[in-house]
Amino acid sequence: MKLEIVLVDFENVQPKNVGQLSGRPFKIKIFLGSNQAKIPVEMVQAMQAFGPDAEYIQIDGNGSNALDFHIAYYIGRLAAENPGSIFRIVSKDTGFDPLIRHLGAQGISCLRSNTLSDVGVGKISNSSSSSEKIDAVIENLTKRKTGKPTTLKTLRSSIKALFVNQLSDEELDALIEQLTQRGTVKVSDGKVHYELPS
């Protein structure tokens, strides 16, 4: 089984649901800004469940993108130490995306998620089979209690973001076609309706 390493940009995203990853083979690194001196008790307790697989890294010093550079450094170091690992950056900062594309070109699997909940969709990569990608999209949509895309345009954008903008337009069209064939998604006059598993 491949090692999956989650790197959380705590300046950008403060997840309240770290515990949802427990019982699964993740290593978690929480990157804290130099001025972030307090961490919620619930998060600390959830992190303790991971034992030695959880780590807080407080960066030293301030500056534009200082924390981002630390995350990039750790990915490089860990990729050298653990070849074949899958890296998951949890951050809304799209500045990571060029790095992720470059890592992909080097054969290093790395994805960015806006929330920790998206990390659980797992197995998303360009090498994933079409079926795995469909399953990942359905799982992502099902987890969204609110905020599901209501138009075809926003659904397309949402799926593209889920796969870190690494899908071609043809692949995106094929995924939406399969969602429609499965009956999961119904599109009428550009509006999207869902029949998702409960």
pLDDT of residue 127: 44
In the structure, what pLDDT confidence band is assigned to residue 126 with cuts at 50, 70 and 90? very low
CA distances from 46 to 55, 118, 162 (A): 12, 18, 25
Task: Tell me, yes or no, if the pTM score tops 0.75.
Answer: no
Q: Which amino acid is at 50?
A: F
List the chain domain ranges.
1-122, 125-198
pLDDT of residue 96: 92
Residues 6+ apart with CB under 8 A from 51: none
pLDDT of residue 57: 93
pLDDT in tens, 20-57: 676 667 899 999 998 888 888 888 888 888 889 999 99
- Only one residue has tokens 């992502």, namely 140
pLDDT in tens, 128-175: 456 778 888 888 888 877 778 898 888 888 888 777 667 778 888 888
- Only one residue has tokens 């690194």, namely 29
Tell me, which fold does domain 1-122 have in CATH? Rossmann fold (3.40.50)
At residue 137, the 3 state secondary structure works out as helix
Contact (CB, 8 A) for 38 and 12: no
Q: What is the mean pLDDT of the chain?
A: 83
CATH of 125-198, one of 1.10.3470, 2.60.120, 1.10.10, 2.60.40: 1.10.10
Q: How many CB atoms lie within 10 A of CB 62?
A: 10
Q: Determine phi and psi for 192, rounding to 5 degrees.
A: -110, 135
